[in-house]
Structure 1
């Protein structure tokens, strides 16, 4: 009897551990306003895209957009690299996600700041030397912060360490543009092993 109880305990513990963090797919809608002379709102929207599909599992995530720039971004926690790819180019570019061009200089957490997809969200406001970013998040969609502690690129490690949840809305404001990215759908999915693998047929080049 004790053996059965022990096996049941570990099975349930494993199930709870897997269910603790969000795994699945999020659809976002992007609205951008250009502040760059000579670059219109419509041209910037074409570049970055107005729709994003985001997949996440453990220490992996992948972002797919309908933009003309880098339409694919993928993070692999095993080597702490960010991968980028354009739609019509067969080369994958990568960079070290342990480096960041700017650091947070101040932050503030605002409770019950907004409702997104019917979920009450707290907000994390992060200030840098060049602008501000506000992340709206719900505790329903938790992330494993330990998986992203080396992901300094884009301030992701800082955000996850403070919020610990997937953002349902992100507002970026700086001297070049104003961007609002809002979730329109969240789906909990079981992503198969190898989902985030990059094809070995694609050449990889370090981004400079």
Structure 2
């Protein structure tokens, strides 16, 4: 199960959203993604087959849901507290992980200007060095959420990222750490009001996410 935990971390490194004036984004975001398992448990082909190459986010206030298009049909639910719930095809239970635990120690960070533009968004770059590797986040302050919403979401450095960028969320996210490499890039933004029931977790027995 360790490879699923690695993927969960990636999911939180790749959240992104649109703002107009002081209105925070609500709607649907789609990312293309690539994942490389450095532990040797999965080949690149297996990673894409089982986990997928596309990720869809639904965001409304403190709530989000993430769906992957791989054979595992992996779906995660976050309801603004300190717990993430994960459902995978063929498993008749919800696995939970605590989001208020940071698994990497931040060593340094820098914010840089870039010439990169994605979907019309001119990007800045936040680079973070940790005890396990590095992360790069290309972001725009025209694409944002309320950073206070995710103060308790330390998993994936989500709280740190939104704090240092005034709530801006990544357009491109690149990670290279001990166990994996990953790349995600925003390919679609649909701003719309969402029914809160989208974020309701399914009614299954709840178990702790295995570590191995």
TM-score between the two structures when normalised by the length of structure 1: 0.83
Counterpart in the other structure of 2:69: 66
Higher relative contact order (CA 8 A, sep 6+): 2
Q: Does 1:94 align with 2:96?
A: yes
Shift of the alpha carbon at 1:32? 3.0
Q: 5 Å matches for 1:135-146?
A: 135-146=137-148
Partners of 1:124 and 1:179 lie apart in 2 by 16
- What do the CA deviations read for 1:78-134 (whole angstroms, capped 9, x no partner)? x32111110222211112211122122111111235211121111111111111111
Counterpart in the other structure of 2:209: 207
Counterpart in the other structure of 1:50: 53
Residue 91 of structure 2 aligns to a residue in which SS? coil
Partners of 2:85 and 2:193 lie apart in 1 by 22
Aligned counterpart in structure 2 of residue 115 of structure 1, from 114, 117, 137: 117
Which segment drifts farther, 127-136 or 170-179?
170-179
Counterpart in the other structure of 1:168: 171
Aligned counterpart in structure 2 of residue 159 of structure 1, from 158, 161, 166: 161
In structure 2, stretches of 5+ residues that fail to align are 1-18
Partners of 1:87 and 1:144 lie apart in 2 by 32
Shift of the alpha carbon at 1:64? 0.2
Partners of 1:176 and 1:93 lie apart in 2 by 21
- What do the CA deviations read for 1:57-84 (whole angstroms, capped 9, x no partner)? 111111100234571112121x321111
Structure 1 residues 47 and 176: CA distance shift in structure 2, 3 A = farther
Structure 1 residues 151 and 43: CA distance shift in structure 2, 3 A = same
Q: 1:113 touches 1:123 (CA, 8 Å); kept in 2?
A: no
Shift of the alpha carbon at 1:31? 2.2
Counterpart in the other structure of 2:200: 197
Counterpart in the other structure of 1:6: none
In structure 1, stretches of 5+ residues that fail to align are 1-15
Which segment drifts farther, 104-113 or 114-123?
104-113
Residue 199 of structure 2 aligns to a residue in which SS? coil
TM-score between the two structures when normalised by the length of structure 2: 0.81
> Whose Rg is larger?
1
